[in-house]
Chain A
Amino acid sequence: MLNLWKNKAAEEKRLKTVVSPSRIRLQKDQSELVPDTTVTVEFPNVSDITKFHVVYRPPGGMYHGGQFRFSFEVSDNYPHSPPKVLCVQKIYHPNIDTAGHVCLNILREDWKPVLNIQSIIFGLQMLFMDPNPEDPLNKDAAQNMIHDLAGFKQNVSTSMRGGNVKGAAYECVLIPPPPPPPASKGPRC
């Protein structure tokens, strides 16, 4: 064991900080996120990159016009364990329950360490562009979507405005309109 070591080149004294492998991996994941105009990543506490929000604004589909906010929490065991992801708003969706649990296979049973934050964001985008009522988490919403698509679309739109669907109140998730341009003062010359 000693000789084996002595074969290695003499090492230099360096100031070293041990950085956890999960943090290194997260740094790589975060810094290589594909820029996407429909997605914003926010940090409630900027010095902590392990807790962040992903806000998604679907560019089309039934959920167009809304912005959906998910909290991500990455543990020291990342990427062996997946991040914990919750929808922080109460929304009407076949695959997301009203407590914010998300039924996305790669968040639980199909998670693999080769997947990353970007894969989860893709997964979330897919849920909004193509909700899957065959694998429901909010059973009522799923039944509604299967049996009465037009009514479901109406309910989605009502819930997104913060209205009531079947007696339950939902949170308004509409993207606020851009502030009006400052009114011009006086006559133009």
Chain B
Amino acid sequence: MAMASPFKCDAGISRYLQLKAPHVEGFELVNDENETPRDLLAKAKVLVIGAGGLGCEILKNLAMSGFNDIHVIDMDTIDLSNLNRQFLFRKDDVGKPKAEVAAAFIKRRSPHVSITPHFKRIQEMSEEFYLDFTIIICGLDSIEARRWINALICGLVEEHGFKGFKPIIDGGTEGLRGNARVILPSVNACLDCGLDLYSKKATYPICTIANTPRLPEHCIEWASVLEWPRLFPDKKLDGDDPDHINWVVEKASARAATFNIPGINYSLAQGVVKNIIPAIASTNAIVAAACTNEALKVVTTCNPYLDNYMFYSGLDGVYMFSFPYARNPDCLVCGKREGSLSLPATATLDELITALKESPVFQLKAPTISHGETNLYFQNPKALEALTRPNLVKSIGDLFESGSTLTVTDPTLTTSLSVSVDFS
């Protein structure tokens, strides 16, 4: 097969990338480095996190929009139940890594695109790995993974400045509803700023589960939350193990029968155990399309991009709107107050605490201090206070390096304070 030239089939997109200024003949939009939108698109290196329902759509859209260098990371393998909507996968692919199969499919259809799969957890990759990308697009189904990547990427800006500035385009769907957002770390609201937006896992009162079940879900939770740990205290219930789920179905059905509750089956049991959110193929398509277009605009600057949150609901007719989600000044990730202190290396930790209390800038009341995962001084509870008290008389030069950033919490602060300490 002949190699297609990178821009052969993107006539539609190039119109937008080659916009000329309306009143100036022969002028093409360029940035400070003399790069046109097409140059920016050609050199953009994009990371797609997740090769599931959203990921398949995003990868397809990116390859068809002129992106040349795409990486995809996913820790999952293909399950039979994915095939209805994750269209890069076929029945023969069941059990294979999603990232690898998706990349191979895209490569077959768009040979000019360089696509690199990573069959890994996002937590396994180094900071250098993430630093290498122009933009990151997330098609994730878990809040944990979103929060992890958000904290890391927000940290990159703090540490590396513009070199570490990686816009995140985040998509999410739940049945007939979905959202897309453009996160510019340290500029607009990050993911943790809007943590309250996420619906939490459906949970039921444990006494209802134990004594007065009314729903099939109550019986499934009884089997998975109460019975499993009681009978197999050393084995974790695995929602992907058919033997485990069949056991849950059997136990839950028996219980449901005594309470006259109909409706227990394998897929409901697995759905409750794994907290599966129903996925609808076209909602994924809508959200992934919005994500890819925003990525294109952010990368090439060809048109203004979403500011910064788009919501789609097809639950009751169609309702869509977008609005600038405000930064949360108390956000644990990007709302940290920052400050710096200069003290001699021989100063004690106690003197540092006094400085934080007496300094007109900080005016703290009872600071608790840690450095990374190391607890330096805790005001409470007693056990941690007693354990960290010996640090008070140690010199700070023995506790951390000059230029270190300490995490300080205090009753006067709604969030934390990052204090970088330089040895004078």
Beta-carbon contact of B372 and A135 below 8 Å: no
- A20 proximity list for chain B (CB < 8 A): 148, 151
- A169 proximity list for chain B (CB < 8 A): none
> A21 near B: Cβ within 8 Å?
yes
Per-residue 0/1 for B194-209: is the Cβ within 8 Å of any A Cβ (1 yes, 0 no)?
0110101101111100
Is chain A's interface secondary structure helix, strand, loop, or mixed overall?
A: loop
Beta-carbon contact of B383 and A15 below 8 Å: no
- A21 proximity list for chain B (CB < 8 A): 147, 151, 192, 332-333
> B144 near A: Cβ within 8 Å?
yes
Per-residue 0/1 for A143-167: is the Cβ within 8 Å of any B Cβ (1 yes, 0 no)?
0000000000000000000000000
Beta-carbon contact of B159 and A16 below 8 Å: yes
State how many angstroms separate the Cβ of A45 from the closest Cβ of chain B: 11
Interface residue tally of chain A, by bracket?
Answer: 35 or more
- B203 proximity list for chain A (CB < 8 A): 108-109, 111
> B284 near A: Cβ within 8 Å?
no
Which of B32, B144, B186, B384 makes the CB contact (< 8 A) with A76?
B144
Among the 9-residue stretches A28-36, A56-64, A170-178, A179-187, the one with 4 or more Cβ atoms under 8 Å from chain B is A28-36
Beta-carbon contact of A18 and B206 below 8 Å: no
Per-residue 0/1 for A12-31: is the Cβ within 8 Å of any B Cβ (1 yes, 0 no)?
00111111110111011011
- A139 proximity list for chain B (CB < 8 A): 210-211
Beta-carbon contact of A15 and B200 below 8 Å: no
Per-residue 0/1 for B349-379: is the Cβ within 8 Å of any A Cβ (1 yes, 0 no)?
0000000000000000010101111110011
A27 to B406, CA, bound (A): 12
> A115 near B: Cβ within 8 Å?
no
> B235 near A: Cβ within 8 Å?
no
Beta-carbon contact of B230 and A15 below 8 Å: no
- B230 proximity list for chain A (CB < 8 A): 99
State how many angstroms separate the Cβ of A44 from the closest Cβ of chain B: 10
Task: Decide: A103 near B411, CB < 8 A? Known: A15-B401, A97-B210, A137-B211.
Answer: no
- A4 proximity list for chain B (CB < 8 A): 184, 187
A31 to B196, CA, bound (A): 24
- B155 proximity list for chain A (CB < 8 A): 16, 18
Residues of B in contact (CB 8 Å), total 64
> B73 near A: Cβ within 8 Å?
no
A6 to B167, CA, bound (A): 15
- B298 proximity list for chain A (CB < 8 A): 1
Beta-carbon contact of B200 and A111 below 8 Å: yes
Is chain B's interface secondary structure helix, strand, loop, or mixed overall?
A: mixed
A14 to B167, CA, bound (A): 22
Beta-carbon contact of A28 and B416 below 8 Å: yes
Per-residue 0/1 for A59-84: is the Cβ within 8 Å of any B Cβ (1 yes, 0 no)?
00000000000000000110011000
Task: Decide: A17 near B409, CB < 8 A? Known: A76-B144, A109-B204, A109-B205.
Answer: no
A35 to B230, CA, bound (A): 35
A28 to B165, CA, bound (A): 28
Highest count of chain B CB atoms <10 Å: which of A28, A47, A101: A28
- A88 proximity list for chain B (CB < 8 A): none
Which residues, 399 to 416 on B, are CB-close (under 8 Å) to A?
Answer: 401, 403-405, 407, 409, 411, 415-416
Beta-carbon contact of B200 and A5 below 8 Å: no
Which of A5, A16, A33, A101 makes the CB contact (< 8 A) with B206?
A101
Chain A residue with minimal CB distance to B32? A2
Instruction: List 3 A-B pairs, minimum CB-CB distance, nearest first.
Output: A31-B368, A21-B332, A41-B381
28 contacts between A and B (CB under 8 A): A1-B184, A1-B301, A2-B32, A5-B162, A16-B158, A16-B159, A18-B152, A19-B372, A21-B333, A24-B407, A25-B332, A27-B368, A27-B416, A30-B378, A30-B380, A32-B380, A35-B380, A40-B381, A40-B383, A41-B383, A80-B143, A103-B206, A103-B207, A109-B203, A113-B195, A136-B211, A137-B206, A137-B207
Chain A interface residues (CB < 8 Å from chain B): 1-2, 4-6, 8, 10-11, 14-21, 23-25, 27-28, 30-33, 35, 40-43, 46-47, 49, 76-77, 80-81, 95, 97, 99, 101-103, 105, 107-109, 111, 113, 135-137, 139
Knowing that A32-B411, A43-B384 are A-B contacts, what are 6 other residue pairs whose CB atoms are under 8 Å apart, sorted by A's residue number? A16-B158, A16-B159, A18-B151, A21-B151, A30-B368, A137-B206
